[in-house]
Amino acid sequence: MLRDADAIQGVSLWQDAWRRLRRNWVAMGSLAFLVLLSLSAILTPIFPLQSPVEQHLHDRSFAAPNINSVTLGLAQLQGEQLDAAIRTNWNDPSGFDEALIRTRLAMFGDWAIPSLCGSDHLGRDMLSRLFWGARVSLIVGVVATFVSLIIGVSYGAISGYVGGHVDDAMMRVVDILYSIPFIFLVIFVVMVISEPSIKGYLESFGINRIVAFYFLIGAIYWLTMARVVRGQVISLKHEQFVDAARTIGANPGRIVFVHLVPNVLGVVIVYLTLTIPSVMLFEAFLSFLGIGVEEPNVSWGLLANEGLKVITPIRIYWWLVVFPAIALAATLYSLNFLGDGLRDALDPRMKNR
């Protein structure tokens, strides 16, 4: 009997969750799409795309999607001329991006993918701007969600574990913050940090408007996360593993962050996948209003806003709106499908379904 028992291999919660997630083809397809999208966003400079900022006002303004050949005209440049052309055509890229761009030029030379998604009112290639915009939109979603994760999990876990009057006071703060119309708060803060003297002061510390924008959005999305984590911690703090930790002398901080928080990660991960699309949609909305990402940076929301600005009853340049909308919608749907799949996979009650 003991030999038979030893032969049985146990399955952890995460192994069981992964096994069940793999059976959900919609969630796995969404995961594959998101991984491919993330890798494409990171490696965008190495793809043979056109410049996202170079303008062609005279010959390519409002050009419809086409397969006409395009060249960059950089093959003959060397030394300082090539350095200047890279900074101009790719908006002062970082060291990592510049290395990828030089690799791209070595591999593909002057050849570039045609304007398969058309061009905008300044003759800039929409396909290239979609790829570069994916970087900003995804970074906003990930960084802002990570900020909300740190604040919300810490706040909610401490509130739920301490309990009593401290818990009541901390939750009343959350209730008060919930009553604040954050759209007006974000608009106010963005206007403040855009003031020249404040903007210059922040840039002296290496903080530009877009970096402050990332953290600002994250700082207003932690409230629901705090409530979710608090509820989970309250249900777990009287379990035997917590009593065992107290018995061996673990301090409250260790109990909260070493024993309790890891046990609520399933719920946190699920909520995380549902928060990222909310943050991305909020960024797109703010960029659509013209108070989010600013030129020469580009995001999907900014692209949609630029498209709507030039649509008139006389002429509709559909490609300027359709392609950014498709990119944003596909990403948001994938994140929601993945979140639903993770919720089902991490729910022990769904184990035999």
State the average pLDDT over residues 155-170: 91
For residue 122, the SS3 value is: coil
The pLDDT score that the predictor gives to residue 129 is: 92
Instruction: Tell whether the model's pLDDT for residue 165 goes beyond 80.
Output: yes
Across 8-17, 128-137, 216-225, 275-284, the highest mean pLDDT is recorded for 128-137
The CATH number corresponding to 18-43+119-350 among 1.10.3720.10, 3.40.50.10860, 1.10.375.10, 3.10.580.10 equals: 1.10.3720.10
Residue 125 pLDDT level (bands cut at 50, 70, 90): very high
- Overall pTM surpassing 0.75 (yes/no): yes
State the average pLDDT over residues 124-142: 89
pLDDT single digits (tens) 28-73 = 999 999 999 999 999 999 999 998 988 888 888 888 899 888 888 8
Is residue 140 a contact partner of residue 214, using CB atoms and an 8 Å limit? yes
The pLDDT score that the predictor gives to residue 3 is: 57
The pLDDT score that the predictor gives to residue 32 is: 94
Q: Which residue has the higher pLDDT, 127 or 306?
A: 127
Q: What is the DSSP string of 54-103?
A: ---TTTSTTPPS----EE-S-TT--HHHHHHHHHHHTTS--HHHHHHHHH
Residue 157 pLDDT level (bands cut at 50, 70, 90): very high
Alpha-carbon gap, residue 72 to 22, rounded angstroms: 44
Instruction: Tell whether the model's pLDDT for residue 205 goes beyond 70.
Output: yes
Query: On the CB side of 267, how many CA atoms lie within 13 Å of its CA?
Result: 20
Going from N- to C-terminal start, the domains of the chain cover 18-43+119-350, 71-111
State the average pLDDT over residues 82-97: 86
State the average pLDDT over residues 237-248: 87
pLDDT single digits (tens) 329-352 = 899 889 888 888 887 777 655 555
pLDDT single digits (tens) 223-233 = 888 998 999 89
Among residues 212, 215, 213, 87, which one has the least CA distance to residue 150?
215
Q: Which residue has the higher pLDDT, 309 or 259?
A: 259
The pLDDT score that the predictor gives to residue 11 is: 58
Phi first, then psi: give them for residue 163, nearest 5 degrees.
70, -165
Residue 94 pLDDT level (bands cut at 50, 70, 90): confident
State the average pLDDT over residues 241-253: 87
The pLDDT score that the predictor gives to residue 127 is: 93
Alpha-carbon gap, residue 169 to 166, rounded angstroms: 5
Among residues 226, 228, 215, 208, which one has the least CA distance to residue 147?
215
The kind and range of the H/E element at 111 are: strand 111-112
Percent above pLDDT 90 for the chain: 20
Q: Which residue has the higher pLDDT, 262 or 157?
A: 157
Instruction: Tell whether the model's pLDDT for residue 144 goes beyond 60.
Output: yes
pLDDT single digits (tens) 260-296 = 888 887 788 878 877 888 887 787 777 777 777 777 7
